[in-house]
Amino acid sequence: MQIIIVGCGNVGSTLAEQLSKEGHNITVIDTKSDVVHSVSNDFDIMGIVGNGAGYSIQMEAGIESADLMIAVTNSDELNLLCCLIAKKAGGCHTIARVRNPVYSREINFIKEEMGLSMVINPEDAAAMEIARVLKFPSAIKIDTFAKGRIELVRYRIEEGSALCDHSLKDISAKLKCEVLVSMVERDGEVFIPGGNFVLRMKDEISVIGSPKNTVQFFKKLGVATTRAKSAFIVGGGETAFYLAIQLLSFGIKVKIVERDKARCEELSELLPQAMIINGDGTDRNLLLEEGLPQAGAFVALTNLDEENIMLSLYVKSISKAKLITKVHRIAYDKIIGQLDLGSIIYPKFITAEIIIKYVRAMQNTIGSNIETLYRMNNDKVEALEFLVKEDSPVVGIPLQELKLKPNLLISCISHKGNVVIPRGQSIIQAGDSVVIVTTLTGLHDIKDIMKN
């Protein structure tokens, strides 16, 4: 497809890289010439320097023949204007990044009146992911499918765990839980495991099943499954605001430390149930005085990656709190992964994931729709949910008879609301939601799982 991306910041450059890898023709627009040249050279795509809301600039970028315009600049108003002009000039699909909570409250009206295909708020999306993890603090990350009926829980095996040095088939026979270990990462290498795969300490595993069954699985292992009772947040930006709303609704006590006094006053009005503290979140004495060691969870949400990393390292040394660390840059992702900072949140990846899911859904054939898409382990693995239609080639055939591509696992099936861990005799039916975990990237349709 022909895709135009306005804005070459973290999200824009990530989208340019990933969508170009998937074979799309990408054109990027930004006012900064050095950024445009860097992105266009790095990913071998077309770049234009200028205001993406300008009609002449959009025409130069080929808006008349474009399939999709994605506006992800730092200005909500500019993003909306870009999409409005693109809609009038080219009639293409449009996606706008909108971050201001004022607009977010009116997002359905804006989307409908402007004819936008999608509106995405990175801070709200990041907050939703953090909130999911805090409901199950032992998890590194929790992804959901089938409208919440299926969960993919990532967990790092600790020393002394009952999982250590046992094969998956032995674990399944012993614990008798309807879950499936669908992916294992060990020393930077990713495996789609079979029954004879033996788990080791420090392996990062992904367990899939219904929420009830995944909780039962971890309870049998002696892993804590109850949600955190309190959360200590450093940084009072928009992500903290959206996160606090969700945590308070769960009954979790929230403290937010923020340097800017005016922002503290604003948060106090918006979040009367939360405790807002005006101070330096890197001040050790302040953190101790405010009861950080007793907090159930610690979330580092400042605008500086280095500050977030150092804060999480410090909290790890004085507390058993669940750690969540926001990181924008991924240049040092391997080093960060070795620091054991709990759950690492990359807002730009979350945003890119959602947009790429939409792009793939635009391309899909009549066999199925991509309902959900998650990219994991530095884009080495994808977990996709397909809604299967009647004429799909996988319908009505036992799984053991399907000729599937390698490095791919049919991990879960949701049939009329019932979650099924598939066996060889299992059959996919029309209307089912099917979750695929694979190291193959670029699947657009359920039929893509089959050998040609």
Cα separation, 97 vs 351, in Å, equals 9
Cβ burial of 82 (10 Å; 0-12, 13-18, 19+) is: buried
Cα separation, 350 vs 216, in Å, equals 28
What is the per-residue pLDDT across 43-81, written as a single tens digit (0 to 9) for each?
999 999 999 999 999 999 999 999 999 999 999 999 999
Class of domain 137-220: alpha beta
The count of other CB atoms within 10 Å of the CB of residue 398 is: 13
Cα separation, 179 vs 209, in Å, equals 5
Nearest Cα neighbor of 95 from 116, 76, 111 is 116
Cα separation, 258 vs 281, in Å, equals 7
Cα separation, 60 vs 57, in Å, equals 5
For the CA atoms of 160, 164, 170, 175, what is the dihedral angle to 10 degrees?
40
Superfamily of domain 356-449: Regulator of K+ conductance, C-terminal domain (3.30.70.1450)
The tokens describing 51, both together, are 């205001």
| 309 Cα distance to chain centroid | 20
CATH number (3.40.50.410, 2.30.40.10, 3.40.50.720, 3.40.50.2000) of 2-120 reads 3.40.50.720
Q: With the C-alpha atoms ordered 437, 441, 446, 450, is the resulting torsion angle positive or negative?
A: negative
| Tens of each residue's pLDDT in the chain, 452 residues | 999 999 999 889 989 998 998 889 999 999 999 999 999 999 999 999 999 999 999 999 999 999 999 999 999 999 999 999 999 998 899 999 998 888 877 888 888 888 899 999 989 999 999 998 898 888 999 999 998 899 999 999 988 899 999 999 999 999 989 999 999 999 889 999 999 999 999 999 999 999 999 999 999 998 888 888 999 999 999 999 999 999 999 999 999 999 999 999 999 999 999 999 999 999 999 999 999 999 999 999 999 999 999 999 999 999 989 999 999 876 666 677 777 788 899 888 888 888 988 888 887 655 667 888 888 877 789 999 999 998 899 999 999 999 999 999 999 999 988 999 999 999 999 999 999 999 998 888 899 999 87
pTM for the structure as a whole: 0.82
The count of other CB atoms within 10 Å of the CB of residue 233 is: 30
Taking the domains of the chain in order of start, what are their residue ranges? 2-120, 137-220, 230-345, 356-449
Please give the backbone phi and psi of residue 413, each rounded to the nearest 5 degrees, phi first.
-130, 130
Same fold, 137-220 and 356-449: yes
Cβ atoms of residues 204 and 152 within 8 Å: no
CATH 3.40.50.720 fits 230-345, yes or no: yes
